[in-house]
Structure 1
Amino acid sequence: MGTSQTFGQMRTTARMAGFLYLLIIVGGLFSELFVRSGIIVPGDATTTVENISDNFFLFRIGLISDLIMVMSDVGVALLLYLVLKPVNKGMSMLAASFRLAQATVLGINLLNYFMPVLLLDQSGYLSSFSAEQINAMVLLFLNAHAYGYLLSGVFFGISCVLLGWLIIRSWYLPQWLGVLVVAAGFSYLIDCVVNFLLPELAATSEILVMTVAVVSELSLCLFLLFIGIGRQFDKQ
């Protein structure tokens, strides 16, 4: 039997998860839409390097934004584990583990994002490379960063499927929210498979992620932030 105190603690935990989730969404969208999309020109190393050189501080801000996102993800993994542990402790821990694996991949992948800064800092040990070679390496590392994001999506997708299942099975969170989260998980998995096996269809899978995943994750974030959990928690 739940108590009002336990309900209050769980609602606070859920709202903390919602707040950190909001940081993840804002940080991720800022880095992708306001930094990378305006600086990186696919297939054009020279223009990309010029854009980075003209916006060095913004490029570095993108790194910090991603770092905040990754650290928030670690917090969300723990908080959602606590929120959903009453449903199934083992599955909740597994969902948190896959989310932590995603955060680990993203954290390491930030090295690929920062490599252009090291390549463009005019250090003497890079004098043996021509400008064209350095430009090519910059774009190579940025492409590697993009694929690192896709790889992290495998772990995140599995985490979302497990998380959605837990929400559906819970008695204090709405089932429709769990269905949305499961759909988001499958959209991430599909996007990763398509990008690696059928890259010509990548534009279509990206639309899938930007619709299904964004809607479901934003719904989860806002529900946790403003509602937390339902009063039904006390009735179990």
Structure 2
Amino acid sequence: MKLSRTTNQTMQQKAAFFSGAALLVMTLAAFFAYGYVHSSLVIDGDAAATLKNLQASPSMFRLEIFGWLIILITDLIVSWGFYIFLKPFHPGYALLAGWLRLLYTAILAIAVSHLVIANSMVQSTISGAANQVMASITAFEVIWSFGLIIFGLHLIAVGLIAIDTRKIPKVLSILLVLAGISYSFIHFMYGFIPQMERFTGILELTLMVPMFIGELGFGIWLLIKGRKLTLDDY
């Protein structure tokens, strides 16, 4: 029994460390892949200009795809790590949060496959290549946005577990729930009420801070404090 207890504690501490580290790597990869490369190369509503940018910087576009692959791998690590770490607090919600994250990761993988398709057509000389490339990039953005609704539900589940604990700071717990609600609501608006896109964009900018700080703050806490928790702390 003592050995089993020690083993479980070691697993939870490792889960905290690896999921926290994975979140930091994921954040850096997302900043590069989407925040820098994607936003620089893709011009909304201008297929010709987008194709021209991609043809001028094919290696950068491939690096973006590589960045998304890193995000997919780290998402899998976080799915496992969150489940192992949160299971002692609430097994049911921990399992739900883990499956929601895996579902989001699967949707993201489908979205990224459209970037791979776009990359295969960048150097094409056939008529309409620009529109085909843009259609694939748009498919990526739409599918990813839908996935972020699921991602938001995952964060809500994680936040509800965190709120019910003594050791996870309440501020972080509330930020996780707020971030989850924000992600789900905003991307539901983008996907299902497109006529309010301008309002949704303003709302997204307003809620950007809690959306960003929620999960990243929890990842930093896992690295600093979470990996030191013992079963007696629960």
* Fold equivalence (TM over 0.5): yes
Could you tell me which residue of structure 2 aligns to residue 201 of structure 1? 199
**1:158 aligned onto 2:153:** yes
Deviations 1:181-233 (A, max 9, x none): 00110010111122120223232133145322111122111111222256574
Moved >3 Å (runs of 4+): 1-9, 229-233
CA contact (8 A) 1:113 1:145 kept: yes
Deviations 1:148-190 (A, max 9, x none): 1111111101100000000111233222211110011001011
CA contact (8 A) 1:49 1:138 kept: yes
Could you tell me which residue of structure 2 aligns to residue 48 of structure 1? 50
1:218 to 193, 216, 222: 216
Which TM-score applies when normalising by structure 2?
Answer: 0.90
Which TM-score applies when normalising by structure 1?
Answer: 0.89
Cα RMSD after superposing both structures:
2.1
Gaps of 5+ in 1: none
Distance 1:205 1:150 in 2: 15
Deviations 1:76-134 (A, max 9, x none): 11111011101111111011000000000001111111222222233xxxx6x41xx11
Deviations 1:57-83 (A, max 9, x none): 110010011011011101111111011
Distance 1:230 1:173, change over 3 A: farther
Distance 1:163 1:235 in 2: 18
CA contact (8 A) 1:85 1:92 kept: yes
Could you tell me which residue of structure 1 aligns to residue 168 of structure 2? 173
Could you tell me which residue of structure 2 aligns to residue 141 of structure 1? 136
Gaps of 5+ in 2: none
Could you tell me which residue of structure 1 aligns to residue 101 of structure 2? 99
Q: Which has the higher contact order (CA 8 A, sep 6+)?
A: 1
CA contact (8 A) 1:28 1:69 kept: yes
Q: How is 1:14-29 mapped onto 2 (pairs within 5 angstroms)?
A: 14-29=16-31
Could you tell me which residue of structure 1 aligns to residue 40 of structure 2? 38
Which amino acid is the alignment partner of residue 193 of structure 1? Answer: F
Distance 1:7 1:176, change over 3 A: farther
Distance 1:9 1:145 in 2: 36
Partner secondary structure for residue 86 of structure 1: coil
